[in-house]
Each structure stands twice: as C-alpha cells, then as structure tokens.
Amino acid sequence: MKQGTFTDIEYSGRKKETRREEFLEIMDEIIPWDEWVSVIEPYYPKGKRGRPPMGIEKMLRMYLLQIWFDLSDPATEDAVYDSYAMRKFTGIDFMKKSVPDETTLCKFRHLLEVNGLNELFFEAINRVMVQSGHMMKDRTIVDATIIDTPSSAKNAEKARDPEMHQTRKGNVWCFSMKCHVDVDAGSGLVHTITVTSANKHDITETANLIREDDEAVDGDSGYLGVQKRSEIQQNEHFSKVDFRINRRPKSLPKVSDHAIDWERYIEYRKSSIRSKVEHVFRIIKCQFGYKKVVYRGLKKNENRLYTLFACANLYSLAIAGRKLSTT
C-alpha cells in the first residue's frame, strides 16, 4: 500500500472535490494503461547509455494532461507543480521522483507522431469496443467539423500553413482544417476519422469513412448526392448502401396548417439519429478545448485527434456508466 504524503492528508479533509479531479479520476479508471504502454514500449528508448529514461506510463499521463487541457510543453510541466489533482493523476511524489521537463515531453510527443502510435491507441480502443459489444455495426453517421487556426499561425516568411485553406461557413470566413468523422449509429462512438484542408467538401471523404459492413449511412444535407459519386458507384458494397441523408428545409413541400407534415416529421426523425455525432464534437471542443489547431501541418494535428477521439470514446462510456471490458 502506498503511503500518503502530508499533502494527501491535507487535501483529504476538503469538503468539495473539483470538477478537474472528478474528470481525472474517471479517465484514470477507464483508460487501459497496460495496453497503451505495451503499444509504446517497442519504440521507447531502453536507456542503455546516459540518463535512464522516464517511465512510459508517467510520460503518457503527462501527454494526456497536455491534450486534455490544451497546454503547451512548459505549461504542462508547470501545471503538475501547481495542481494537486494533476500531480495525483501522474503519480509523481516530489520527494522521490522528478517531473519530466518540457524538452522530455516534446521528445515523447515526437516519438508518438513519428511512429504513428496515436492511431494505434485509437484502433486498440475501437477493437476492444467491438469485441465487448459497445460498438455495433450495420449503420453509421458521417459528419465533419471545422477547426480554426490561430490568427498568429505564420512562419518566418509571414506565410500561413500551406496544408490548410480558407473556407466560408455561413457568412464567416476562416482559415482552417476540417475533421471528418464516422460515428456508430447505435452507440455514438467514433470508429473512423480523416483530416483535410477546410476547403474540401464533406462529401469527398465519405468513401474513406464508411465501413465495409455498413448497410445504412446517415448524414446532413451536405451529403446530398453522395450516392452519385464515382467512388461510391464503382464499389460493389458502397453502391448498395442505403444513404439516409437529410433534405434541406427549403426543399420540403409546404402543407396547410391543419394537415400533418409527414415530410418534415421524417426529416426530424433522421435528425434525431444523426445528432449523435454532435455529442462527440462537444467533448472534443468543449471538454478538451480543441477549438483551434495546435501545430502546423495536417499530420501532427491528425495524430492529436486520434488520441482525443480515443479518449472521447472512453469518456462517453464512463459517463454512460459502462466499462471497457471484453468479459
């Protein structure tokens, strides 16, 4: 049994637990630490020469704190020193262990990016969810969201990121990227994501999102006409998929005040199913604070999104009172 410190004893007498502590306790319980550590271990330095490397799980916990609370490398290091909840989550005892500095955290993040380990985290979580019955198949929901770039995201030549592009949503112009997701219609859990520049239309990524065993696909009016695209018609399976796309409100026929508007009722029913995808976007943007891109280039931001969506799936399970287990 781990002996508590004087700080632990002092904090145990508090009358209230903060929302940050509650969130970290939920994530600490539901994340499969052993599986994620085993994914990183083959690529992690063995420490045969020089200073011994930091523990894999400690670095992973630091990295997750960084992306959950949208912190920079120096701010993550400072937050562990300042916040008792974060220090408790990482399991660092200042009397015995040192906090990984910002350079160590930066190198660990690059290790994950170079070897594509973020995507392996996402695939491992989804594989277990399918085995445990949390994620069903046959029906899926496609959607996309725009993630803006900060106004200061320019290089030394005062040029913006060449991999991103400006687009207009409504009457607002923005320079950003677009995240396309495919959500399981039964559970609302994300099973596929792709990242493009913001000027790419939603409909162009549909073939990359649909699973091979999906029989029906729901989407908003931005996906109207998807069944006519060549990549859909030329695919033997995709050409048989039932696309249940919302119609634009202006295209619905008008009825008298005393008649039942069946057309509009059908569209409402479609929307009630399709809206499940919005819950995932809320977790990513509001819970994790990922409203603006953090890095230059699509690949780095895609790696971050893989881990964020894996954690969002786990958080959704925890909030629903379910556990990640194959038994």
Per-residue pLDDT of 170-221, as tens digits, reads 788 888 899 999 999 888 899 999 999 998 999 999 999 998 888 999 999 8
User: For residue 269, what pLDDT is reported?
Assistant: 87
What are 77-105's pLDDT values in tens digits?
999 988 888 998 998 887 777 888 899 99
Position 327 pLDDT exceeds 60: no
- Segment 40-63 shows an average pLDDT of 86
- How far apart are alpha carbons 36 and 298 in whole angstroms? 24
Note whether 211 and 140 are within 8 A (CB): yes
Q: What is the dihedral of CA 78, 70, 30, 183, to 10 degrees?
A: -170
Residue type, 161: D
Question: Cβ contacts of residue 195 below 8 Å, gap of 6+?
Answer: 177, 178, 179, 180, 298, 301, 302, 305
CATH 3.30.420.10 intervals, the chain: 136-319
Token digits for 317? Answer: 């399970």
Rounded (5°) CA angle 122-103-70: 50
The pLDDT confidence band at residue 321, using thresholds 50, 70 and 90, is confident
How high is the pLDDT of residue 254? 79
Contact between residue 211 and residue 193 where contact means Cβ atoms under 8 Å apart: no
pLDDT in tens, 230-244: 999 998 888 899 999
pTM for this one? 0.88
Residue 285 is predicted with a pLDDT of 92
Q: Which two tokens stand for residue 165?
A: 């592009």
Mean pLDDT to the nearest integer, 264-279:
87
pLDDT at residue 72 above 80? yes
Written as six digits, the tokens of 170 are 């409504």
Please write the tens of the pLDDT for every residue from 286-310: 999 999 888 888 999 999 999 999 9
**pLDDT number for residue 156:** 64
Q: Enter the CATH code of domain 136-319.
A: 3.30.420.10
Phi, psi of 185 (to 5 degrees): -65, -30
Select the more confidently predicted residue: 245 or 259: 245
Residue 155 binned pLDDT confidence (cut-offs 50, 70, 90): low
Q: Which pLDDT score is estimated for 1?
A: 45
* Helices H / strands E in the chain, number of each: 13, 6
Give me the residue label for tokens 């005393």. 258
